[in-house]
Amino acid sequence: MTDTISTALKTGQMFINFGPQHPSTHGVLRIALTVEGEVVVKADPDVGYLHRGMEKLFEARTYSQALILTDRLDYVSAMSNNLAYCLAVERLAGIQAPLRAQYLRVLTAELNRIASHLVFFGTFSVDMGAFTPFLYAFREREMILDLFEMLCGGRLLYSYIRVGGVNADLPAGWTEKCREFITFFKPRLKDYDTLLSFNPIFRDRTVNVGRISASQAISWGLSGPNLRASGPDYDVRKAEPYCVYDKLDFKVPVAQAGDCWNRYYCRMLEMGQSVEIALQCLDALAAADLVPGEIMAKGVPKMLKPPAGAAYAHIEASRGDLGFYAVADGSLNPYRMHVRGPSFLNVAILQEILTGCKIADVVAVLGSLDIVLGEVDR
């Protein structure tokens, strides 16, 4: 414990370890806080508790085997990880997935975005002391996980999006159940607004807390709702559309204030937009011109050997701009596969943001950044 005395008020500085185990359910993260009274003077996030050496593991596996590993990066929204990886490898190998597969990819990615933001909503409200929204969020999430289980057999980790397409087509009755879910879910967003978003106590704890200016956000490499809540209108789905996002009509919520509440509310609005995208995908899949069953590109070999070269592909995952930098050397295994994890950069900004905050605000700021340690540590 470090003890420095400031002469003016005879106060001492105290060293507190926030983590690596703490009840705010974000995983194993340690923030070494130096506090003076109630105010944080220095914050030093310490990551690496979940480091599994994934980038080294990628090099020891074939491209299909490496796909399984990508699920475990951001384990809350596994479809997005698969999608980014497959886009990178497809760029390397020059494969183009068929249109139906692309719609399926977008549909599952957006449903996964809803599921991931529901986890954020639930855990953020528990951090703030309201326990009920957590259970409501997970009730909705159960329905999405049931849909995914019907589709590919997995509830949390899917490996559904494969290089060249997707693994399986929609089973009979899936579209009806998906529409049922959407009909159930849409009014719930209004419920959440009444319950939590505009609750004065909640706003009291999150408005004007943890402000990130636009230039700070851009310089520190934030992405996703963390960046958009501070002002810059950057969404990979609009800036560099991948799959069929250029054919879909949706809005991207952008705010100006850059505080915890705006980051939270951007995610709530994004859930509503994901629902719209999902409906458009369902309509497109039901249309006659997409041949059912055409879910995998033709001629993708079982043992994929992309020609030597490098590729970078990035998508708008639930947490931000998830990118894969893949280097192939003509063999079965990737030569180098680097994951640009959005949560890794989102945690880095804590060094600057937390100074000047109160201890109780640390929980609010950390929760509003919505990190998953699997992506931070890889």
Partner 1 sequence: MTTETIQPLSEPVFNHANGRLLMPDNRYWPSRKWESPWSLPAYRSGAAVLAGLLSGAAAAAWLVGELGPRVTPLYYAAGHYALSLGVPAFLIKIVWTVIKAALLLAVPLVNALFAVWWERKISAHIQSRLGPMYVGRFQGCLQTVADGIKLFLKEDIVPDSADRLVHLLAPVVVVIPAIMVFAPVPFGRELIFADLDIGTVYVFAVGGVSVMGVIMAGWASGNKFSLLGGLRAAAQLVSYELPRTFAVIPVVMLAGTLNISAIAGFQAGYWGGLLPRWFIFYPVVGQVAFIVFLIASVAETNRVPFDIPEAESELVAGFNTEYSGMKFALFFLSEFAYVLLSCLLMAAFFFGGGEPPLPLLGFLPSWAWFLAKTLTLMFCFLWFRWTFPRFRVDRLMDFNWKFLLPVSLLNIAAAGVLIWFIS
Partner 2 sequence: MPAEEIFKNLQASFPGLARSGAQVKEYPAWDVPAGSLRAVCDRLRAKFSFDYLDMVTAVDWPASAVPGTTPPPHPSAGRDIFELVYVVSALSTGVRLCLRCEVPRASPSIHSLYGIYMAADWQEREIYDLFGIHFEGHPNLKKILTPETQQGHPLRKDYAHVPDCYD
Nearer to partner 2 by C-beta: 106 or 217? 217
Question: What count of other Cβ atoms lies within 10 Å of the Cβ of residue 50?
Answer: 17
Q: If you write DSSP's letter for every residue of 135-171 in order, what string do you get?
A: HHHHHHHHHHHHHHHHHHS-SS----EETTEES-PPP
* Dist. CA 167–CA 159, nearest whole Å: 8
The residue within the footprint of partner 1, chosen from 57, 150, 290, 310 (CB under 8 A), is 150
Q: How far is the CB of 289 from partner 2 (least distance, A)?
A: 27
SS3 49: coil
Q: Give Rg (Cα) of the chain.
A: 21
Burial environment of residue 301 by CB neighbours within 10 A (0 to 12, 13 to 18, 19 or more): exposed
Phi, psi of 132 (to 5 degrees): -65, -45
What mask, x for binding partner 2 by CB under 8 A, covers residues 62 to 91? -----------------------------x
Q: Is 103 in the site for partner 1 (CB under 8 A)?
A: no
Burial environment of residue 30 by CB neighbours within 10 A (0 to 12, 13 to 18, 19 or more): middle
Q: Is 57 in the site for partner 1 (CB under 8 A)?
A: no
Burial environment of residue 145 by CB neighbours within 10 A (0 to 12, 13 to 18, 19 or more): middle
* Dist. CA 5–CA 28, nearest whole Å: 32
What mask, x for binding partner 1 by CB under 8 A, covers residues 153 to 172? x--------------xx-xx
The residue within the footprint of partner 2, chosen from 21, 51, 68, 146 (CB under 8 A), is 51
Q: Is 241 in the site for partner 2 (CB under 8 A)?
A: no
Q: How far is the CB of 67 from partner 2 (least distance, A)?
A: 19
* DSSP assigned state of 246: G
Q: Which of 219, 207, 222, 210 is nearest to 319 (CA)?
A: 222
Binds 115, which of partner 2, partner 1, none (CB < 5 to 8 A, cut-off by type)? Answer: none
Residue span binding partner 2 (CB under 8 A) among the ranges 66-74, 109-117, 217-225, 292-300: 217-225
All residues at 6 or more sequence positions from 337 whose CB lies less than 8 Å from its CB, including other chains: 55, 58, 59, 66, 85, 88, 324, 325, 326, 327
Binds 53, which of partner 1, partner 2, none (CB < 5 to 8 A, cut-off by type)? Answer: partner 2
Q: How far is the CB of 56 from partner 2 (least distance, A)?
A: 6
Residue span binding partner 1 (CB under 8 A) among the ranges 17-25, 231-239, 324-332, 348-356: 17-25
Q: Is 257 in the site for partner 2 (CB under 8 A)?
A: no
Phi, psi of 32 (to 5 degrees): -85, 110
Q: Give the residues lining the site for partner 1 (CB under 8 A).
A: 14, 16, 18, 22-24, 38, 125-132, 135-136, 139, 143, 146, 149-153, 168-169, 171-173, 177, 180, 183-184, 195-196, 199, 201-202, 204-205, 358-363
Q: Give the residues lining the site for partner 2 (CB under 8 A).
A: 47-48, 51, 53, 55-56, 91-92, 215-216, 218-221, 232, 234, 239-240, 308-312, 314, 321, 323, 325, 327-331, 335-336, 338, 340, 344-345, 347-349, 352, 377-378
